[in-house]
Structure formats: structure tokens, C-alpha cells
Amino acid sequence: MTMELTNITILLLGMLCVAASMPLSPESIETTCQQKSNNPRGNIIPICNATTHHFVPKQCDNETGFCWCAEVYSGHMMAGTHQAKSDFNIDCNSHKGTKCEQNLHEVLQQLGSGNTTWIPSCDMFDGTYTPTQCNFFTGQCWCVDEMNGIKNGTEWYALNTNIDCVKTFAEDEVISQKKTEKYLGWLTALHEITELLWNDLMTMDLSRD
């Protein structure tokens, strides 16, 4: 059930990100910020830029007294920026965020030009790539390294597939560790053989003298 909810969350995030990237048409297509502002969940009403209608970089919740930096197209809260308003000392206009958050921003910037690449999903707590990534244009999902977003393994999954990428990555790590241990064992054996051959050669040279 948890993995199914995770996949649904990723799907909804992707749909919101696509909507966020859309330029305003004559029919005034709403951005994600406008949608959330017009239909707020809870007490947080996002602040939208008056010109672009996207999120302003610095968002605040006056009721709780906390502020944070937001990715301007999706509203994603940048990792490590959630601070009390009275102590807030981050310049959100220049804050770059993590590798995943920078990747997310770059992708969303290009979506309006017809780019159909995948939209990165970033962890809301530490800003790393979520283990499961999906391309909503192709309907494919895959597992990635959380630090760099690089695909792990060769498997591809459909959007509705129940994937446990954390478990998959852990199993790959065990396999990799076993391969490393085997390789180190082979190197140790090779070193011992080389040392024996070297000693034999030295003994032969001494006997000739």
C-alpha cells in the first residue's frame, strides 16, 4: 500500500509540474501556483508572481511563522530552507538547491518549448532524487541512485507498477559488495602467488652466485 501511494504521489507531482510549466495562453491557463492559490489545502496560500503567475522564490506561512525557498514552477520546498520567519536568512532568489532541485528547475524551464524529458522527483526533506523516477510522457518508471539520479540496473516499469526501488537498490548494493569482496580476494591470492614467484627467482639467483 505504501509503495502504491508513493507511485500515485509521484504521478500527481508530475502532472502538477507539467501544468506549472505551461505558458499563459489567451484563455489564461492557470499555473500550479494559481491553482493552489485558488484552491488552497489547509491554511497555506502560496504567493504568486504578479507577472509570471509562478511561485515567488520565498514563501511564508504567517500562521505558523515559518518561511522557505520554493522552486518557482512547481512550488517544491527546497531542502534545508524551512526556517522561522524571524530567523530567516536565506536569499531565495539566488539559492540553487540540491542537484535534484537544480535538475527539476532546469527541466521545468524547458517544458514550455516542447521538451518531453522526464520531470525529476526530489525528496522534500533532503532534496535528493526519490528512488523511483517516472517519465509521464512515455509512461515509464525506473530506479535511480538517490544522490545523482543515475538509473540503477536495466529494468523499466510501467507507471502503475508497484516498485520497491529502495529494496532493489539495497539488493544491488549487496551484490556489488560481494563482487568487490571476491575481487579483493582474487587480488590477495594473486599477490601471494607473485610473492612466491619472486622469492623463487631470488633463491635461483643466489644459488647461481
Domains contained in the chain, number: 2
Determine if the pTM surpasses 0.85: no
pLDDT by position in tens, the chain (length 209): 444 444 444 444 454 444 444 443 434 588 999 999 998 877 788 999 999 999 999 999 988 899 999 999 999 999 999 999 999 999 999 999 999 999 999 999 887 666 667 889 999 899 999 999 998 888 889 999 999 999 987 788 888 777 788 765 554 444 345 444 544 554 565 556 556 666 665 665 555 55
Contact indicator for 56, 91 with CB cutoff of 8 Å: no
**CATH number (domain holding residue 153):** 4.10.800.10
* The predicted structure's pLDDT at residue 41: 77
* The three cell numbers locating residue 154: 536495466
Is the same domain home to 195 and 107?
no
How far apart CA 198 and CA 105 sit, in angstroms, is 59
* The predicted structure's pLDDT at residue 2: 44
Is the same domain home to 14 and 92?
yes
* The predicted structure's pLDDT at residue 163: 77
Is the same domain home to 149 and 179?
no
* The predicted structure's pLDDT at residue 111: 77
* The predicted structure's pLDDT at residue 29: 80
Is the same domain home to 114 and 186?
no
Is the same domain home to 79 and 123?
yes
How far apart CA 142 and CA 151 sit, in angstroms, is 7
Cα dihedral 161→165→168→173 (10° resolution): 160
* The predicted structure's pLDDT at residue 138: 85
Is the same domain home to 186 and 115?
no
